[in-house]
Amino acid sequence: MAKIVLARIDDRLIHGQVMTAWLQYTGGNHIIIVDDQTAGDEFTKTIIKMAVPMGIGLDILTTTEAPTIINALSDDKKIIILTKGPSTYVSLIENGVSITDVIIGGMGANKNRSKFYKNISASEQEKTEFRAIISHNVGLKVHVIPDEKSVAVGNLL
């Protein structure tokens, strides 16, 4: 099975930090975006594909198909999984994807979210999902960029 080198929550999915800092830091060679809306939007998928550097694999998957595809990837894959929110990780974990750690990199403010930690916002439902991730013995921390210190989410709830 492939090795998951980064599992990140970021509502922006792919952007400069992921493409530069996190790819280099993790040595990832395959990005998997798990997001139902993105997987169903051909225009957005085309834009994302253009943002991924040459030599880096990319899959954009629905939450339903992701566990089977992730678990079937070859051993030479170093996977970066990107999702927009924690509910996707709860689903992946509960459907057999072996994830040891999840980081929160970017969860912006919106009408349903309030400030959680510095510039990270979360709704009450998302906080419940954070607890669910932690309950599966998966480490969960806020870690925006590799050079910053991470903060355990369990201490913030």
Read off the pLDDT of each residue in 115-126 and give the average, rounded to a whole number.
95
Q: What is the DSSP string of 75-132?
A: TT-EEEEEESSHHHHHHHHHTT---SEEEEEE----TT-EEEETTEEE-HHHHHHHHH
In the prediction, which pLDDT does 16 show? 79
Q: How far apart are CA 79 and CA 73, in angstroms?
A: 9
Domain borders along the chain are: 3-155
Q: Which residues are catalytically annotated?
A: 15
For helices 86-94 and 124-135, what crossing angle results, to 10°? Answer: 30
Please work out, in degrees rounded to the nearest 5, the angle formed at the alpha carbon of residue 23 by the alpha carbons of 103 and 9: 25
Cβ atoms of residues 87 and 94 within 8 Å: no
Predicted pLDDT at 112 = 92
Question: Does 18 have pLDDT greater than 80?
Answer: no
- pLDDT, one tens digit per residue, over 42-91 is 999 999 999 999 999 999 999 999 999 999 999 999 999 999 999 999 99
pLDDT given for residue 24 in this prediction = 92
CA–CA separation, 118 and 36 (whole Å): 28
The two three-digit tokens of residue 17, written as one number: 């930090």
What's the pLDDT score for residue 66?
98
What is the average pLDDT across 128-151? 95
What's the rounded Cα separation, in Å, for the pair 4 and 61? 16
Q: Does residue 95 surpass a pLDDT of 80?
A: yes
Residue 59 three-state SS: strand
- CATH number for the domain formed by residue range(s) 3-155: 3.40.35.10
Q: pLDDT at residue 19 above 90?
A: no
Q: Which pLDDT value is given to residue 1?
A: 75
Mean pLDDT score of the chain: 94
Q: 32 by DSSP, 3-state: which? A: strand
- Determine the number of helices (DSSP H) and then strands (DSSP E) in the chain: 7, 9
